[in-house]
Amino acid sequence: MAVLASPESESRLAPLLQQAGAVFAARDGRPVAINYGSAAGELAVCVAGVGLVDRSGLTKLVLEAPPLQLDDVLLRIAGSPVVVGGARLAGGAWWCRATADRMIVLCESRTGERIRARLVAHTQHHVALSIRDCSEHFAAIELLGRKTGKVLNALGIYGSSGDPSCVPPFTAHPVGAVPAMWLLQSDQHALALVAGDRAGEVWLAIEQIGQPFGLSCVGHEAASRYALLERVGRGAVAYA
């Protein structure tokens, strides 16, 4: 059994967000960009184009275990196993199967402690289960809005066919030269996980590629409002 944790800190993207005019406030014990001057205007960006959101404050847990043990843990906590490349929303978290023996769990930090405690309890029965808190190692960058799919296609996420149905919900695809893992939640909602020390490169690259599609920086206030609109429209639940 291994359970490793890392302390909370300011987002690696904070300097870029400050340059863009971000207004910060504390959320769940860490500063986040709540808006860039007009939450209403940023909501309009999501409705008409694409919002770019720093979601680095999400809890990011990496689980590793032999495949059958990992399947059993997922069955007990998430309700069913998840295939490689699959992603399942359960208990306020996304359970993303990176490989047969590796799972990445994404959730709001306020939900993370509860999920971590449940996972730690399972280490008593699965001694090979390793739980690592990689919240500070990974940055999370969200694309949110009506033209998210167009930006993803321009980034090459959908491959040569440009068909989103041909891509698994959890897939690896670089942004430029930077490795990234993508959670494709819907045609209007996607999340990229990248190494924290390369987050700035990825943010700027996505900004440049997304400009023709009306992409702009969006704070947590507008992102939360748009996620609510998306939930109501789809009957789905976002991170928590």
Q: Over the stretch 1-49, which tens digit does the pLDDT of each residue have?
A: 433 333 346 789 999 999 999 999 998 888 999 999 999 999 999 999 9
Q: 8, 107, 114: which is closest to 58 by C-alpha?
A: 107
Give the bridge partners for 172, in sequence order. 181
Angle between helices 67-77 and 109-122 in degrees, nearest 10: 120
> Going by C-beta distance under 8 Å and a sequence separation of 6 or more, which residues neighbour residue 232?
none
Phi, psi dihedrals of residue 106, rounded to the nearest 5°? -120, 130
pLDDT digit string, tens, across residues 141-189: 999 999 999 999 999 999 999 999 999 999 999 999 999 999 999 989 9
**207, 20 contact by CB (below 8 A):** no
What is residue 9's predicted lDDT score, i.e. its pLDDT?
62
* pLDDT one-digit tens code per residue, 74-122: 998 888 889 999 999 999 999 999 999 999 999 999 999 999 999 998 8
Mean pLDDT to the nearest integer, 194-214: 98
- Structural domains for the chain: 8-57+137-234 (3.30.1360.120), 59-133 (3.30.70.1400)
DSSP string for residues in 138-179: EEEEEEESTTHHHHHHHTTTTTTTT-GGGS-SEEE--BTTB-
